[in-house]
Amino acid sequence: MEREPTDHRAPSRGSSLRPAHDGLVGAAADLLLGGDCPGCHDPGWGLCRDCATEVSRSRPRPCHRPRVAGPIWAAGEYDGIVPTLINAAKERRRWDAIAPLSRLLAGAVAGLHDDSDRGNAFSGGPLVLVPAPSSPATVRKRGLDVTAAVADGAVGWLRRVGLPARRRSVLSHRRRVADQTGLDAHERRANLDHALVARSAPRGTIVIVDDVVTTGSTLAEAIRELEAAGSTVAGAAVVADHRLR
Protein backbone atom coordinates (compact mmCIF):
# COMPACT_ATOMS: atom_id res chain seq x y z
CA MET A 1 0.00 0.00 0.00
CA GLU A 2 1.24 3.47 -0.79
CA ARG A 3 1.53 6.15 1.84
CA GLU A 4 2.22 9.84 1.86
CA PRO A 5 5.65 10.29 3.45
CA THR A 6 5.67 14.07 3.44
CA ASP A 7 2.13 14.67 4.66
CA HIS A 8 2.18 15.05 8.43
CA ARG A 9 -1.50 15.74 8.70
CA ALA A 10 -3.64 13.09 10.28
CA PRO A 11 -3.96 10.17 7.85
CA SER A 12 -6.82 10.92 5.51
CA ARG A 13 -7.55 7.67 3.74
CA GLY A 14 -10.28 5.22 4.58
CA SER A 15 -11.77 7.31 7.32
CA SER A 16 -13.34 5.29 10.08
CA LEU A 17 -14.80 8.38 11.66
CA ARG A 18 -18.51 8.04 11.98
CA PRO A 19 -20.38 9.91 9.27
CA ALA A 20 -20.51 13.60 9.98
CA HIS A 21 -24.05 14.62 10.78
CA ASP A 22 -26.00 17.73 10.14
CA GLY A 23 -29.48 18.96 9.39
CA LEU A 24 -32.49 16.71 9.61
CA VAL A 25 -30.56 13.51 10.24
CA GLY A 26 -28.88 15.00 13.28
CA ALA A 27 -32.10 16.49 14.55
CA ALA A 28 -33.88 13.15 14.16
CA ALA A 29 -31.03 11.38 15.94
CA ASP A 30 -31.22 13.84 18.78
CA LEU A 31 -34.97 13.39 19.04
CA LEU A 32 -34.78 9.60 19.01
CA LEU A 33 -31.53 8.94 20.82
CA GLY A 34 -30.60 12.12 22.61
CA GLY A 35 -27.18 12.01 20.95
CA ASP A 36 -24.73 14.85 20.63
CA CYS A 37 -21.31 15.52 19.14
CA PRO A 38 -18.49 14.64 21.59
CA GLY A 39 -16.60 17.71 20.39
CA CYS A 40 -19.18 20.50 20.54
CA HIS A 41 -22.39 18.92 21.91
CA ASP A 42 -24.40 19.74 18.80
CA PRO A 43 -27.25 17.24 18.54
CA GLY A 44 -26.71 14.24 16.30
CA TRP A 45 -24.71 11.03 15.99
CA GLY A 46 -21.02 11.07 16.73
CA LEU A 47 -18.62 13.73 15.61
CA CYS A 48 -20.28 16.56 13.68
CA ARG A 49 -18.99 17.81 10.35
CA ASP A 50 -17.35 20.94 11.77
CA CYS A 51 -15.51 18.98 14.46
CA ALA A 52 -14.44 16.31 11.94
CA THR A 53 -13.04 19.10 9.76
CA GLU A 54 -11.13 20.55 12.71
CA VAL A 55 -9.64 17.12 13.48
CA SER A 56 -8.63 16.62 9.84
CA ARG A 57 -6.78 19.96 9.84
CA SER A 58 -4.35 19.02 12.59
CA ARG A 59 -0.70 19.61 11.73
CA PRO A 60 1.53 17.33 13.77
CA ARG A 61 4.77 18.88 14.90
CA PRO A 62 7.72 18.04 17.12
CA CYS A 63 7.60 19.28 20.67
CA HIS A 64 10.48 19.31 23.10
CA ARG A 65 10.77 18.49 26.77
CA PRO A 66 14.23 18.76 28.31
CA ARG A 67 13.75 15.63 30.40
CA VAL A 68 12.79 13.43 27.44
CA ALA A 69 15.85 12.28 25.54
CA GLY A 70 14.14 11.19 22.33
CA PRO A 71 11.94 13.09 19.88
CA ILE A 72 8.31 13.76 20.76
CA TRP A 73 5.65 14.51 18.18
CA ALA A 74 2.23 15.92 18.98
CA ALA A 75 -0.81 16.12 16.74
CA GLY A 76 -1.35 19.67 17.97
CA GLU A 77 -1.67 22.01 20.89
CA TYR A 78 -3.93 21.32 23.83
CA ASP A 79 -6.62 23.69 22.67
CA GLY A 80 -9.64 23.86 20.41
CA ILE A 81 -11.54 20.60 20.14
CA VAL A 82 -8.73 18.43 21.50
CA PRO A 83 -9.22 18.89 25.28
CA THR A 84 -12.95 18.41 24.82
CA LEU A 85 -12.45 15.11 23.00
CA ILE A 86 -9.89 13.88 25.53
CA ASN A 87 -12.17 14.80 28.40
CA ALA A 88 -15.16 13.21 26.65
CA ALA A 89 -13.34 9.89 26.31
CA LYS A 90 -11.75 9.90 29.76
CA GLU A 91 -14.42 11.41 31.95
CA ARG A 92 -17.72 10.96 30.11
CA ARG A 93 -17.30 7.50 28.56
CA ARG A 94 -17.82 8.96 25.12
CA TRP A 95 -16.34 6.16 23.08
CA ASP A 96 -17.21 8.05 19.90
CA ALA A 97 -14.35 10.39 20.80
CA ILE A 98 -11.87 7.50 20.48
CA ALA A 99 -11.85 7.45 16.66
CA PRO A 100 -10.95 11.13 16.18
CA LEU A 101 -8.35 10.92 18.97
CA SER A 102 -6.90 7.87 17.25
CA ARG A 103 -6.71 9.74 13.99
CA LEU A 104 -4.82 12.57 15.70
CA LEU A 105 -2.41 10.17 17.40
CA ALA A 106 -1.77 8.36 14.12
CA GLY A 107 -0.83 11.68 12.54
CA ALA A 108 1.68 12.32 15.33
CA VAL A 109 3.20 8.84 14.95
CA ALA A 110 3.43 9.30 11.18
CA GLY A 111 5.10 12.67 11.71
CA LEU A 112 7.65 11.13 14.05
CA HIS A 113 8.22 8.31 11.59
CA ASP A 114 8.78 10.64 8.67
CA ASP A 115 11.00 13.05 10.59
CA SER A 116 14.44 12.82 9.06
CA ASP A 117 16.30 14.20 12.07
CA ARG A 118 16.06 11.21 14.34
CA GLY A 119 19.13 9.08 13.86
CA ASN A 120 18.49 5.48 12.86
CA ALA A 121 16.12 4.39 15.61
CA PHE A 122 13.47 3.89 12.91
CA SER A 123 15.74 1.81 10.74
CA GLY A 124 13.92 -1.45 11.00
CA GLY A 125 11.46 -3.83 12.55
CA PRO A 126 7.77 -3.42 13.15
CA LEU A 127 6.34 -0.16 14.43
CA VAL A 128 5.29 -0.91 18.01
CA LEU A 129 3.11 1.54 19.92
CA VAL A 130 3.55 1.20 23.67
CA PRO A 131 0.85 3.14 25.55
CA ALA A 132 1.68 5.00 28.74
CA PRO A 133 -0.17 2.90 31.30
CA SER A 134 -3.24 3.91 33.22
CA SER A 135 -3.65 2.55 36.72
CA PRO A 136 -6.10 -0.36 37.17
CA ALA A 137 -8.25 1.91 39.35
CA THR A 138 -8.44 4.52 36.60
CA VAL A 139 -9.34 1.92 33.99
CA ARG A 140 -12.08 0.57 36.28
CA LYS A 141 -13.44 4.05 36.87
CA ARG A 142 -13.47 4.94 33.18
CA GLY A 143 -14.72 1.54 32.04
CA LEU A 144 -12.02 1.40 29.38
CA ASP A 145 -8.27 1.83 29.01
CA VAL A 146 -8.67 4.95 26.92
CA THR A 147 -5.00 5.36 25.98
CA ALA A 148 -4.81 1.74 24.80
CA ALA A 149 -8.06 2.13 22.84
CA VAL A 150 -6.77 5.29 21.16
CA ALA A 151 -3.52 3.45 20.34
CA ASP A 152 -5.50 0.59 18.79
CA GLY A 153 -7.37 3.05 16.62
CA ALA A 154 -4.09 4.68 15.60
CA VAL A 155 -2.72 1.26 14.62
CA GLY A 156 -5.64 0.91 12.22
CA TRP A 157 -5.00 4.33 10.71
CA LEU A 158 -1.29 3.67 10.32
CA ARG A 159 -1.85 0.32 8.63
CA ARG A 160 -4.21 1.98 6.18
CA VAL A 161 -1.49 4.41 5.11
CA GLY A 162 1.08 1.64 4.72
CA LEU A 163 2.85 1.69 8.09
CA PRO A 164 2.65 -1.78 9.66
CA ALA A 165 2.01 -1.12 13.33
CA ARG A 166 0.78 -2.88 16.41
CA ARG A 167 0.16 -2.09 20.04
CA ARG A 168 2.02 -3.73 22.91
CA SER A 169 0.85 -2.70 26.38
CA VAL A 170 3.93 -3.89 28.25
CA LEU A 171 4.15 -1.09 30.81
CA SER A 172 2.32 -1.00 34.12
CA HIS A 173 2.71 0.70 37.49
CA ARG A 174 4.99 -0.97 39.99
CA ARG A 175 3.54 1.12 42.80
CA ARG A 176 0.70 3.50 43.39
CA VAL A 177 1.13 6.97 41.93
CA ALA A 178 -0.87 10.12 42.55
CA ASP A 179 -2.95 11.73 39.83
CA GLN A 180 -0.52 14.03 38.03
CA THR A 181 -3.17 16.73 37.69
CA GLY A 182 -2.44 19.52 40.12
CA LEU A 183 1.21 18.55 40.67
CA ASP A 184 3.99 20.89 39.66
CA ALA A 185 6.91 19.75 37.50
CA HIS A 186 9.09 18.69 40.46
CA GLU A 187 6.23 16.79 42.10
CA ARG A 188 5.36 15.04 38.84
CA ARG A 189 8.92 13.87 38.43
CA ALA A 190 9.05 12.54 42.00
CA ASN A 191 5.62 10.94 41.64
CA LEU A 192 6.69 8.93 38.60
CA ASP A 193 10.32 8.22 39.48
CA HIS A 194 10.82 4.50 38.78
CA ALA A 195 7.06 4.06 38.97
CA LEU A 196 6.70 1.93 35.83
CA VAL A 197 7.69 -1.64 35.13
CA ALA A 198 8.01 -3.36 31.75
CA ARG A 199 6.70 -6.92 31.56
CA SER A 200 8.80 -7.50 28.46
CA ALA A 201 11.14 -5.63 26.14
CA PRO A 202 9.53 -5.43 22.68
CA ARG A 203 11.76 -5.35 19.61
CA GLY A 204 11.26 -3.14 16.60
CA THR A 205 10.61 0.56 16.32
CA ILE A 206 9.22 1.43 19.72
CA VAL A 207 7.08 4.55 20.10
CA ILE A 208 5.63 5.52 23.48
CA VAL A 209 2.13 6.92 23.00
CA ASP A 210 -0.02 9.00 25.33
CA ASP A 211 -2.86 11.46 25.10
CA VAL A 212 -1.11 14.55 26.44
CA VAL A 213 2.46 15.59 27.19
CA THR A 214 2.84 18.20 29.94
CA THR A 215 6.20 18.12 31.72
CA GLY A 216 7.25 14.92 29.94
CA SER A 217 7.66 13.00 33.22
CA THR A 218 5.48 10.10 32.07
CA LEU A 219 7.25 9.76 28.72
CA ALA A 220 10.68 10.03 30.35
CA GLU A 221 9.82 7.31 32.87
CA ALA A 222 8.35 5.06 30.16
CA ILE A 223 11.47 5.43 28.01
CA ARG A 224 13.78 4.87 31.01
CA GLU A 225 12.01 1.67 32.00
CA LEU A 226 11.73 0.21 28.48
CA GLU A 227 15.37 0.90 27.73
CA ALA A 228 16.38 -0.57 31.10
CA ALA A 229 14.45 -3.68 30.06
CA GLY A 230 16.37 -3.86 26.79
CA SER A 231 14.19 -2.10 24.19
CA THR A 232 15.42 0.74 22.00
CA VAL A 233 12.87 3.54 22.03
CA ALA A 234 12.61 5.63 18.87
CA GLY A 235 10.55 8.41 20.42
CA ALA A 236 7.11 9.35 21.63
CA ALA A 237 3.88 10.53 20.06
CA VAL A 238 0.96 12.23 21.77
CA VAL A 239 -2.36 13.72 20.82
CA ALA A 240 -1.71 17.08 22.46
CA ASP A 241 1.17 19.29 23.56
CA HIS A 242 0.12 20.89 26.85
CA ARG A 243 2.61 23.20 28.52
CA LEU A 244 2.10 23.93 32.20
CA ARG A 245 1.90 27.66 32.78
Summarize as ranges the residues that interact with Zn ion (CB under 5 A): 37, 39-40, 42, 48, 51
Of 17, 220, 232, 228, the C-alpha closest to 119 is 232
For 10, phi then psi, to 5°, come to -55, 140
List the alpha helices (DSSP H) in 69-173: 81-91, 98-114, 136-142, 146-160
| Cβ atoms of 223 and 68 closer than 8 Å | yes
Residues in the chain: 245
Least Å distance, CB 38 to Zn ion, is 7
Least Å distance, CB 2 to Zn ion, is 31
Measured from the CB atom, is 40 or 178 closer to Zn ion?
A: 40
Cα–Cα separations (whole angstroms), residue 239 to 86, 87, 190, 206: 9, 12, 24, 17
200-215 per-residue burial string, b: 16 or more CB within 10 A, e: under 16: eebebbbbbbbbbbbb
| Cβ atoms of 116 and 170 closer than 8 Å | no
Measured from the CB atom, is 10 or 206 closer to Zn ion?
A: 10
3-state secondary structure of 11: coil
Least Å distance, CB 45 to Zn ion, is 11
DSSP category for residue 74: E
Least Å distance, CB 98 to Zn ion, is 15
Least Å distance, CB 39 to Zn ion, is 4
Measured from the CB atom, is 1 or 24 closer to Zn ion?
A: 24
The span from the CA of 141 to the CA of 133, in Å, is 14
Measured from the CB atom, is 95 or 145 closer to Zn ion?
A: 95
Measured from the CB atom, is 85 or 208 closer to Zn ion?
A: 85
Measured from the CB atom, is 39 or 153 closer to Zn ion?
A: 39
Least Å distance, CB 42 to Zn ion, is 5
